[in-house]
Amino acid sequence: MQTFPIFLSLQDRPVLVVGGSEPAARKVELLLSAGARVTLIADTVVGEIAQLIAEARISWAGRGFDDDDLSGMALVIVATGDEALAARVSSAAQRRSLPVNVVDRPLLSSFIMPAIVDRAPITIAISTGGTAPALARRIRAEIERALPAAIGRLARFAEIFRVQVRRTLESSRDRRRFWDRVFAGRIGELALAGDEIAARRELIRLLDSARNENAPAGMVHLVGAGPGDPDLLTMKAHRLMQRADVIVYDRLVSPEVLAMARRDAERIFVGKRRGEHCQTQSEINRRLVSLARAGNSVVRLKGGDPLVFGRGGEEIEALVRAGVAVEVVPGITAALGCAASAAIPLTHRDHAQACIFVTGQLKDGTVSLDWPMLARPRQTVVVYMGAESLPIIAARLVEHGLSPATPIALIENGTTNQERRVVGTLATIEQQARRAALEGPTLCMIGEVIGVSLARDPELQDQRASF
Ligand code: SAH
């Protein structure tokens, strides 16, 4: 985070604006809407500002800037074309540790003016850290489109009941659930539509029943986090992550996906990291059961799909045995994510009538798979967890009849910004993989379909031509 966002209260506080141009008028307007007492310094002013001065809504010093003008100010905004003046005001303000913004001059500013969506009392501020103000404006336009104009009404409505709800529902979790129900349901709709009387009546009824409810039982949602790109989360996964009390996740869940979770949800890491104690599956199962029994809404996040090589089955069994409700939310498994990102068709009318997912995990230094079945023609084989056993896999497939020229693709960190691909043949891949030193999660895809999508890849053509 390049800058630290805060919302400053300027009600009745003095603010200095230097400049009398059109941009200065825009800033004055904003400052007045935040309740600031504006003093403006400029030799000449545009009509709008002149009007504000005439109405005595701002005070005007029709003279040059003096360092003493800064005393007692809460904030300084400079909007003048006079570069030397801007630099002078900026350094004088910074000497006094006064927050100063010089319009369009980030280097002279100690704070940035964000793009603003104003739905009072809701204010949304957007910053691109000074890199691309035009992009900030686009984001603002999208947010404006997505947010009902009357959303501020909803906030004001909630404010009326805030204290009463806080007194009635003791735990912050119960309160959050209560407000979730208010905002997501009929009460929110009524308030948005301006029918405050009906909204009030229903809210009180809901509060009454929430008070009398026994603590709701917790449950576990076994949620697929997809292969890494947060845009590939399902809407249901996103919604549950936004409501969860606790998120239990492992190593394959990307930080970008995790960032989609509710800010104050508790996050528990149960994956393996080098040099750290790694929790056994039964420890994880026990943890899930006890979190749910304590009344939490638990999201158990797993990379890809929870039921594809994810030990999701074992967790379901343990939860069901313990009488804990469990719901499974599918995710995009690595094979589908990687295939899409490399545009490799997993099936193809001419080249592959079947697609097989297998695990290449080593057991006692070896891989026991049904090799004659995997070496059959006209199918795509996708190997999860196969990076280490790649040499064994390639050798066995050739031994069982696949051509050494069969194309193979290794995809590391598929769908993320760090995605890397190595494409070769069963004969060449081991050496290529060593050279590439793949370290992240890597998926291995074998079959003629790789040649279809990457037929124009010069490296692959060279390798295949050598057979
Ligand atoms: N449940 C997961 C798979 C877990 S097994 C899923 O459905 O995708 C872990 C293996 O998945 C890794 O060893 C790797 O082979 C594969 N994998 C997971 N995410 C990946 C990614 N983003 N890119 C490439 N391979 C990935």
- pLDDT digit string (tens) for 34-61? 999 999 999 889 999 999 999 999 999 8
What spacing in Å lies between the alpha carbon of 67 and ligand 1's midpoint?
62
> Which one from 272, 302, 350, 363 is the annotated catalytic residue?
272
What is the position in ligand 1's atom list of the atom closest to the CA of 415? Answer: 22
The answer, yes or no, to whether any atom of ligand 1 lies below 6 A from the CB of 93, is: no
pLDDT score of 130 more than 80: no
What is the position in ligand 1's atom list of the atom closest to the CA of 302? Answer: 1
User: Tell me: the pLDDT tens digits for 342-395?
Assistant: 999 999 999 999 999 999 998 887 888 999 999 999 999 999 999 999 999 999
Ligand-binding annotation for 333, yes or no, is yes
- Its pTM stands at 0.67
The answer, yes or no, to whether any atom of ligand 1 lies below 6 A from the CB of 463, is: no
pLDDT score of 106 more than 90: no
Ligand-binding annotation for 271, yes or no, is no
Question: What residue ranges define each of the domains in the chain, with the CATH number in brackets?
Answer: 14-113 (3.40.50.720), 151-212 (1.10.8), 219-332 (3.40.1010.10), 335-465 (3.30.950.10)
% of the chain exceeding 90 in pLDDT = 69
Ligand-binding annotation for 44, yes or no, is yes
The answer, yes or no, to whether any atom of ligand 1 lies below 6 A from the CB of 303, is: yes
pLDDT score of 251 more than 70: yes
Which of 73-77, 130-134, 216-220, 463-467 is least confident?
A: 463-467
Report the residue among 311, 332, 357, 443 best suited for mutation to probe ligand 1: largest number of ligand atoms under 8 A from its CB: 443
The answer, yes or no, to whether any atom of ligand 1 lies below 6 A from the CB of 228, is: yes
What spacing in Å lies between the alpha carbon of 464 and ligand 1's midpoint?
28
* pLDDT of the residue at 34: 93
What spacing in Å lies between the alpha carbon of 131 and ligand 1's midpoint?
35
What spacing in Å lies between the alpha carbon of 258 and ligand 1's midpoint?
16
Task: Examine the residue annotation and report whether 272 is marked as an active-site residue of this protein.
Answer: yes
CA distance linking residue 187 with residue 199, whole number of Å: 5
Average pLDDT over residues 75-101: 96
> Which one from 250, 264, 364, 462 is the annotated catalytic residue?
250
The answer, yes or no, to whether any atom of ligand 1 lies below 6 A from the CB of 254, is: no
Ligand-binding annotation for 280, yes or no, is no
* pLDDT of the residue at 94: 97
What is the position in ligand 1's atom list of the atom closest to the CA of 414? Answer: 23
The answer, yes or no, to whether any atom of ligand 1 lies below 6 A from the CB of 441, is: yes
Average pLDDT over residues 158-170: 90
Task: Examine the residue annotation and report whether 250 is marked as an active-site residue of this protein.
Answer: yes
User: What is the pLDDT of the chain when averaged over all its residues?
Assistant: 91
Ligand-binding annotation for 216, yes or no, is no
